[in-house]
């Protein structure tokens, strides 16, 4: 069974890139790296508890196609949300990938 039909959102993938600033340091810029289809869910209580025990915050799971170009440190943006990708896991079956994310709440302005 394909997961593709369950991926009901289009998310933009944003990746941080660094360039030399000419003074021995670096400047960071967020660059749009593409789009992926995904399904955004809240993790179970036990998943959240495991994350807290490890010192991490885990607010959302994003299910992706196995070929999705998403990596730790990326941001997934869509539907008025910005999700910071904490890490990406692949189950033993290669039907999908799961990105464990933290919702970033930005100040309005």
At 48, give phi and psi (nearest 5°): -65, -40
Give the burial class of 102: count Cβ atoms within 10 A of its Cβ; 0-12 exposed, 13-18 middle, 19 or more buried.
middle
Contact 28, 50 (CB under 8 A): no
Q: Per-residue pLDDT tens for 32-58?
A: 999 999 999 876 666 666 656 666 677
User: Which architecture does CATH list for 4-18+27-104?
Assistant: Beta Barrel (2.40)
Task: State how far Cα 12 lies from the chain centre.
Answer: 10
Neighbouring CB atoms inside 10 A of 85's CB total: 20
Q: Per-residue pLDDT tens for 51-93?
A: 566 666 778 999 999 999 999 999 999 988 999 999 898 877 7
* Terminal Cα distance for the chain, rounded: 44
Is the pTM higher than 0.85? no
pLDDT of 29 > 80? The answer is yes
């Amino acid at each position: 069974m394909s997961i593709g039909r369950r991926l009901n959102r289009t998310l933009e993938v944003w990746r941080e890139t660094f360039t030399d600033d000419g003074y021995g340091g670096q400047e960071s810029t967020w660059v749009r790296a593409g789009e992926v289809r995904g399904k955004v869910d809240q993790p179970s209580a036990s998943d959240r508890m495991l994350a807290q025990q490890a010192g991490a915050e885990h607010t959302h799971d994003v299910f992706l196609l196995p070929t999705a170009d998403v990596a730790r440190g990326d941001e997934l943006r869509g539907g008025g949300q910005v999700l910071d990708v904490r890490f990406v896991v692949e189950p033993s079956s290669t039907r999908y990938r799961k990105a464990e994310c933290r919702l970033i709440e930005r100040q309005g302005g």
